[in-house]
């Protein structure tokens, strides 16, 4: 395995804040998809798998932190709870009743999530519920994110039900019957997972090595590694390209130009995380639940805050005198705030946190983490684009692509993408062996 970074793990990483290990990237993985938790168990982390102590979240909007009512990716499943929360106006609540009267229509190939929700449920539901939820997942905008690629569970509802509200409520009821937690984490941080996988695999991993070129050979592939002044050539049987879309496009340009062209069209968002450690006795009554989301229409800098010590019991037990809060910032094509230096970025994040919660004490420690070009944007037509990329790549035996740019940005989806890629290259190698004279 060739890894460009100094260590394995990509955007899964743990580092210390106030002397304790805290995730710098994703801190949770879907528990109801099997790939991530199964992999954690397979590499010896079974005892470390944990579930959130609370998932009770909120929305900071219209001047207050308000309880987030039950939703399916922002589509309300309990109108009474929505009304009590005060997130949307009475006119918006009345507007949603029209959803039950809209005529059934044939499924569309794809549409932006915001376009669908705005049409069916109104602008306030789109702007104050769907937008902050999608902003947390993709750092993107509901008016641009693909329904079918970005929120496939909602797309399935649209295909089978006339009323979006009724369908979301039915889906929520089914989900409650599953009986297992939605999310999982790892004691010590989800960022432990890549290192455990690397160690358990026994694979030879070269870190700090950039792959600059990829060339098709009569049998296999040639990789060009390292700087131009001291490049190295490595011939291999097969290649899985597991990098973001832009570098993947550069590597594939010579031998798979159609895939390269399509990958170059995928845009990315940059984000930052500012993690604070506070003394518990100064903030305990101010930070309750798992945190809050922030709709972009409210004009704040942060887009969410997670009360990590409330959410993860292992972190609270590690130091009962500290409370860890992490704020996230940055949306697609709105990177201006991220251009601040670390001190200023932490200051504006803290100012928003104080405005939302009333926490006035100074943190005992702060960490700023920046992820440039971190999150691929699933624009309308994304599924078709990915299918065409994979079809072009499939024409080259021993070659496959995988990663967050294809089938989902969550950890289980990325693992599934990698498994699919490995299956493809192995099948290609078998075909080549069969055809060999």
Q: How are the residues of the chain apportioned to helix, strand and coil, as percentages rounded to the nearest 5?
A: 40, 25, 35
**Structural element, H or E, at residue 390:** helix 382-394
Instruction: Take residue 308 and report the two structure tokens written for it.
Output: 């990590």
Mean pLDDT across 391-396: 95
Instruction: Take residue 324 and report the two structure tokens written for it.
Output: 């860890």
* 241 occurs within a structural domain: no
* 39 occurs within a structural domain: no
pLDDT score of 432 = 67
Higher pLDDT, 337 or 100: 337
Q: Is 43 helix (H, G, I), strand (E, B) or coil?
A: coil
pLDDT single digits (tens) 1-56? 999 999 999 999 999 999 999 999 999 999 999 999 999 999 999 999 999 999 99
Query: Partners of 223 in the beta sheet?
Result: 214, 234
Name every residue whose Cβ is closer than 8 Å to that of residue 36 and which is 6 or more positions away in sequence: 29, 30, 184, 193, 411, 412, 415
pLDDT score of 168 = 85
Q: Which long-range contacts (CB under 8 A, 24 or more apart) does 84-90 make?
A: 85/59, 86/62, 87/59, 87/61, 87/62, 87/128, 87/129, 88/124, 88/125, 88/128, 88/129, 89/124
CATH of the domain at 155: 1.10.3110.10
Confidence of residue 431 (pLDDT cuts 50, 70, 90): confident
pLDDT single digits (tens) 306-331? 999 999 999 999 999 999 999 999 99
* 277 occurs within a structural domain: no
**Structural element, H or E, at residue 419:** helix 411-435
pLDDT score of 219 = 87
For 45, 295, 330, the CA distances from 335, given in Å and listed in that order, are 36, 16, 6
Q: Is the pLDDT of residue 131 over 70?
A: yes
Higher pLDDT, 168 or 161: 168
* Residue of 398, 424, 9 whose CA lies nearest to 214: 398
Mean pLDDT across 90-100: 85
Which residue is listed with tokens 């397979």?
Answer: 42
* Residue of 336, 337, 296 whose CA lies nearest to 114: 296
* 97 occurs within a structural domain: yes
pLDDT score of 102 = 61
* 145 occurs within a structural domain: yes
Q: First CA to last CA across the chain, in angstroms? A: 30
Share of the chain above pLDDT 70, in %: 96
- Count of domains in the chain? 1
Q: Is the pLDDT of residue 297 over 80?
A: yes
Q: Is the pLDDT of residue 179 over 80?
A: no
Q: Which domain holds residue 130?
A: 62-176
Q: Is the pLDDT of residue 435 over 80?
A: no
pLDDT score of 108 = 63
Query: Partners of 240 in the beta sheet?
Result: 400
* 89 occurs within a structural domain: yes
Give the β-pairing of 239-241 and 365-376: unpaired
Confidence of residue 103 (pLDDT cuts 50, 70, 90): low
* 396 occurs within a structural domain: no
Confidence of residue 97 (pLDDT cuts 50, 70, 90): confident
* Residue of 148, 178, 201 whose CA lies nearest to 379: 148
Confidence of residue 172 (pLDDT cuts 50, 70, 90): confident
Mean pLDDT across 153-162: 81
pLDDT score of 317 = 96
Share of the chain above pLDDT 90, in %: 83
* 152 occurs within a structural domain: yes
Confidence of residue 178 (pLDDT cuts 50, 70, 90): low
pLDDT score of 105 = 57
Average pLDDT for the chain: 93
* Residue of 258, 260, 211 whose CA lies nearest to 236: 211
> What does 100-163 look like in DSSP terms, one character per residue?
GGSPP-PPPS--BHHHHHHHHH-HHHIIIIIHHHHHHHHSS-TTTBBHHHH-HHHHHHHHH-S-
Confidence of residue 107 (pLDDT cuts 50, 70, 90): low
pLDDT score of 109 = 79
Q: How many C-beta atoms lie closer than 10 Å to residue 383's C-beta?
A: 20
pLDDT single digits (tens) 188-222? 999 999 999 999 999 999 999 999 999 999 889 99
pLDDT score of 433 = 67
């Amino acid at each position: 395995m060739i890894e460009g970074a100094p260590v394995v793990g990509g955007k899964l990483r743990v580092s210390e804040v106030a002397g304790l290990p805290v995730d710098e990237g994703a801190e949770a993985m879907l528990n109801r998809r099997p790939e991530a938790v199964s992999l954690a168990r397979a590499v010896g982390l079974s005892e470390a798998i944990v579930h959130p102590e609370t998932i009770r979240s909120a929305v900071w909007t219209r001047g207050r932190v308000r309880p987030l009512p039950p939703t399916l990716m922002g589509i309300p499943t309990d109108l009474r709870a929505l009304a009590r929360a005060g997130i949307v106006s009475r006119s918006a609540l009345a507007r949603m009743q029209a959803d039950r009267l809209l005529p059934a229509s044939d499924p569309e190939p794809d549409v932006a999530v915001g376009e669908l929700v705005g049409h069916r449920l109104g602008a306030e539901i789109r702007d104050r519920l769907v937008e902050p939820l999608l902003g947390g997942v993709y750092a993107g905008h509901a008016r641009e994110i693909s329904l079918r690629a970005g929120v496939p569970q909602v797309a399935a509802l649209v295909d089978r039900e006339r009323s979006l509200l009724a369908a979301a409520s039915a889906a929520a009821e089914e989900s409650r019957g599953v009986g297992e937690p939605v999310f999982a984490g790892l004691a010590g941080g989800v960022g432990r997972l890549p290192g455990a996988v690397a160690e358990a695999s026994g694979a030879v991993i070269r870190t700090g090595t950039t792959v600059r070129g990829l060339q098709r050979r009569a049998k296999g592939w040639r990789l060009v590694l390292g700087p131009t002044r001291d490049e190295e050539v490595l011939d291999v049987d097969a290649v899985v390209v597991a990098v973001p879309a832009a570098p993947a496009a550069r590597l594939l340009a010579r031998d798979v130009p159609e895939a390269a062209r399509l990958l170059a069209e995928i845009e990315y968002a940059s984000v930052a995380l500012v993690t604070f450690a506070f003394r518990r006795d100064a903030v305990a009554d101010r930070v309750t639940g798992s945190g809050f989301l922030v709709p972009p229409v409210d004009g704040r800098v942060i887009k969410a805050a997670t009360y990590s010590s409330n959410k993860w019991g292992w972190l609270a037990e590690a130091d009962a005198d500290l409370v860890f809060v992490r704020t996230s910032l940055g949306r697609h094509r709105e990177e201006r705030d991220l251009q601040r230096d670390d001190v200023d970025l932490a200051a504006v994040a803290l100012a928003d946190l104080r405005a939302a919660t009333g926490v006035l004490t100074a943190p005992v420690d702060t960490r700023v983490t920046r992820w440039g070009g971190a999150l691929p944007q699933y624009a309308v037509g994304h599924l078709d684009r990915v299918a065409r990329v994979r079809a072009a790549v499939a024409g080259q035996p021993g070659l496959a692509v995988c990663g967050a740019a294809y089938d989902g940005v969550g950890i289980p989806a990325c693992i599934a993408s990698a498994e699919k890629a490995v299956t493809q290259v192995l099948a290609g190698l078998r075909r080549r062996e069969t055809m060999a004279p």
